[in-house]
Amino acid sequence: MSVDILSPFLGRYRMVSPVCNIIIVGGGTAGWLTAGVIAARHQSRMGRDFTVTLVESPNIPIIGVGEGTWPTLRTTLSRMGVSETEFFRECDASFKQGARFARWTTGAPDDGYYHPLMLPQNFGHVNLAPHWLAGKGDESFCDSVCSQGRICDDGLAPKTIATAEYDALANYAYHLDAGKFAPFLQRHCCEKLGVRHVLADVETVLMKDNGDIRAIHTTQAGEIEGDLFIDCTGFKALLIEGAMQIPFEDCNDVLFCDTALAMQVPYDSPDSPIASHTISTAQSAGWIWDIGIQTRRGVGHVYSSNHISHEAAELELRAYIGPASDALNARKIPIRSGHRKTFWKGNCVAVGLAAGFLEPLEASAIVLVELSAKMIAEQMPVCREVMDIIATRFNATTQYRWGRIIDFLKLHYVLTQRTDSTFWRDNVRNESIPDRLKDLLLLWRYQSPGFLDEFDRVEEVFPAASYQYVLYGMGFKTEVNAADLHNTTHLASRALRENIAMTAKLRAGLPCHRDLIKKIVAHGLQPV
């Protein structure tokens, strides 16, 4: 086909509204991560035909609760050009190798299991769950198929000082001080990536006739125009809710916890051990998180105010912490579980708390920011004419991710055997369980989730292995059929032996968690 035939057709789609000026409204972790991801992706254009401007109020404090992350943050920071050594030095960071859930199944003192960040041994080649279920051993599922639970029990780090930045011997994420993380990202984005920073309060949002945002009018900086506006204004949702009128969809009929009490607990001494995993301990009407960073622990109680009073919830938190809590004040944080009906409308897209929030049981807040920012950066519309097409893709993907996270969080509750309080009994009521999760639980009665299961989307937040760790950590039973074991017995036996050898090797060679952090702060990791 000749160019002459195509020319009239192509001419109809001449670009008239290029997208060149990205305006991020709101700072904090969501705003600065989004700015950094976009600016790094489009670095070759920055300052020429493409700008990223972050506008934040000088009068609104950072919420600063999210201290747990997912391994994706390693890739995100690396692509932004952030030094992992400097990140540890400036953000009070520590390593996170997963989460230990205590008293979620029976409530007994010895009730606990790990959701590690390492996949089961040889996960892409053989599903070890049916073989573990068919076995007669007393070893937990995690310990049978993965090294990480043992590493965490021993208080070890996931790498050595000789391991390069962002490389790992055992997969890891981070715990961090959210109050220090946002300013750290701000400095990097402004000094290294060319992001423009404007300290100003938004007074009004100025609209176009077609329903797009034309500009924001601020008290200190006047009118700021843009082509794409990203709402990182937190729970206020100034753009997505205030200007675009997108409603919020609650999911408190599924996830009951609606309040958190948070405390910052000092260590007994500067050399106190730092847990390299999040500890989540179930309570009478919720659960307590315990996160260790370099100089303190972040401890908080997430609970349902319909099942326990504020006073009783605070007593449970103080009982968990012990005498050290006597000198501490509890910060109360409301939780509105749910998300926007639409995340991207017109030329406005919501990221972070403006998009939604769920209880921090599996540290999903920051990873959702990362995934949203990455998708915006990679599919950045060249012009307004194609923006609605990209928005439709973004909304479908983001809606899917929120739904899957809600299902996964609810899974922790519906598998409980606890009947000691109304909270736990209400959580297993049939009407509180999403239909999709009901179908999966029925399926998993007869076949274990595996790497060839339906968890096949790009960048699944929780792969099939995560479901296995929770299901079998909480005593779920899947029938084992001969077909599950057929032709894989040899592969499974080899994988289980390899896990034993790998566990022994890592336990012998990895350093103490706090010792490695001290070395990183003092000497630094080898740059990539």
Please return the burial class of 217, using the count of CB atoms within 10 Å of its CB with bins 0-12, 13-18 and 19+: middle
| 108 belongs to a structural domain | yes
Q: For the stretch 294-321, what's the b/e string if a residue is b when 16 or more beta carbons lie within 10 angstroms of its beta carbon?
A: bebbbbbbbbbbebbeeeebbebbbebb
| 528 belongs to a structural domain | yes
Q: State the Cα–Cα distance between residues 121 and 13, nearest whole angstrom.
A: 51
Three state DSSP letters for 394-430: HHHHHHHHHHHHHHHHHHHHHCCCCCCCHHHHHHCCH
pLDDT of 1 > 50? The answer is no
Predicted confidence at residue 262, as pLDDT, reads: 96
Positive or negative, the CA dihedral 368, 371, 374, 380 is negative
| 373 belongs to a structural domain | yes
pLDDT of 48 > 90? The answer is no
> pLDDT by residue (tens digit) across 106-159?
999 999 999 999 999 999 899 999 999 998 778 999 999 999 999 999 999 999
Three state DSSP letters for 15-46: CCCECCEEEEECCHHHHHHHHHHHHHHCCCCE
pLDDT of 438 > 70? The answer is yes
CATH number at residue 239: 3.50.50.60
145 and 192 fall within a common domain: no
Q: How are the residues of the chain apportioned to helix, strand and coil, as percentages rounded to the nearest 5?
A: 40, 20, 40
- The predicted model gives 53-78 an average pLDDT of 87
Please say if 236 is a catalytic residue. no
Q: State the Cα–Cα distance between residues 382 and 448, nearest whole angstrom.
A: 44
Q: State the Cα–Cα distance between residues 196 and 240, nearest whole angstrom.
A: 22
Return phi, psi of residue 202, to 5°. Answer: -80, 125
Predicted confidence at residue 64, as pLDDT, reads: 56
| 418 belongs to a structural domain | no
Distances (CA, A) of 28 to 55, 180, 219, 349, 499: 11, 10, 20, 17, 40
Domains in the chain, number = 3
Of 316, 334, 352, the residue that ends a domain is: 334
- Within a 10 A sphere around the Cβ of 85, how many other Cβ atoms? 16
342 and 323 fall within a common domain: no
| 426 belongs to a structural domain | no
Predicted confidence at residue 61, as pLDDT, reads: 72
| 84 belongs to a structural domain | no
470 and 509 fall within a common domain: yes
139 and 185 fall within a common domain: no
Predicted confidence at residue 13, as pLDDT, reads: 58
230 and 343 fall within a common domain: yes
159 and 195 fall within a common domain: no
pLDDT band at residue 360 under the 50/70/90 scheme: very high
Strands 21-25 and 228-231: parallel
459 and 325 fall within a common domain: no
Q: Which structural domain, as residue segments, surrounds residue 480?
A: 102-171+434-528
327 and 450 fall within a common domain: no
- Asked if residues 176 and 67 have their Cβ atoms less than 8 Å apart, the reply is yes
> pLDDT by residue (tens digit) across 309-336?
999 999 999 999 999 999 999 999 999 9
| 294 belongs to a structural domain | yes
Tokens representing 395? Answer: 């909304």
pLDDT of 527 > 90? The answer is no
Beta strands in 257-347 (DSSP E): 259-266, 278-282, 286-292, 296-303, 331-334, 338-340, 344-345
> Across the strands, what pairs with 339?
249, 356
> pLDDT by residue (tens digit) across 466-523?
999 999 999 999 999 887 788 899 999 999 999 999 999 999 999 999 999 999 999 9
Of 334, 358, 390, the residue that ends a domain is: 334
210 and 230 fall within a common domain: yes
Beta strands in 235-392 (DSSP E): 248-250, 259-266, 278-282, 286-292, 296-303, 331-334, 338-340, 344-345, 348-350, 356-357
Q: For the stretch 491-517, what's the b/e string if a residue is b when 16 or more beta carbons lie within 10 angstroms of its beta carbon?
A: ebeebbeebeebbeebeeebbbbbebb
- Asked if residues 100 and 288 have their Cβ atoms less than 8 Å apart, the reply is no
> pLDDT by residue (tens digit) across 376-430?
999 999 999 999 999 999 999 999 999 999 999 999 999 999 999 999 999 999 9
Return phi, psi of residue 334, to 5°. Answer: -75, 145
> pLDDT by residue (tens digit) across 444-474?
999 999 866 655 555 678 999 999 999 999 9
CATH number at residue 265: 3.30.9.10
Model pTM?
Answer: 0.94
Q: State the Cα–Cα distance between residues 328 and 307, nearest whole angstrom.
A: 25
- Asked if residues 97 and 117 have their Cβ atoms less than 8 Å apart, the reply is yes
181 and 243 fall within a common domain: yes
> pLDDT by residue (tens digit) across 154-174?
999 999 999 999 999 999 999
> Across the strands, what pairs with 94?
175
- Asked if residues 516 and 160 have their Cβ atoms less than 8 Å apart, the reply is yes
Of 292, 308, 334, the residue that ends a domain is: 334
Predicted confidence at residue 298, as pLDDT, reads: 96
Catalytic residue among 96, 159, 374, 410: 96
Quick check: helix, strand or coil at residue 68? strand
| 189 belongs to a structural domain | yes
Distance from the first to the final alpha carbon of the chain:
49
228 and 348 fall within a common domain: yes
Apex CA 86: angle with CA 82 and CA 89, to 5°? 145
351 and 242 fall within a common domain: yes
pLDDT band at residue 63 under the 50/70/90 scheme: low
Q: State the Cα–Cα distance between residues 350 and 343, nearest whole angstrom.
A: 5
Positive or negative, the CA dihedral 243, 26, 228, 68 is negative
- Asked if residues 182 and 195 have their Cβ atoms less than 8 Å apart, the reply is no
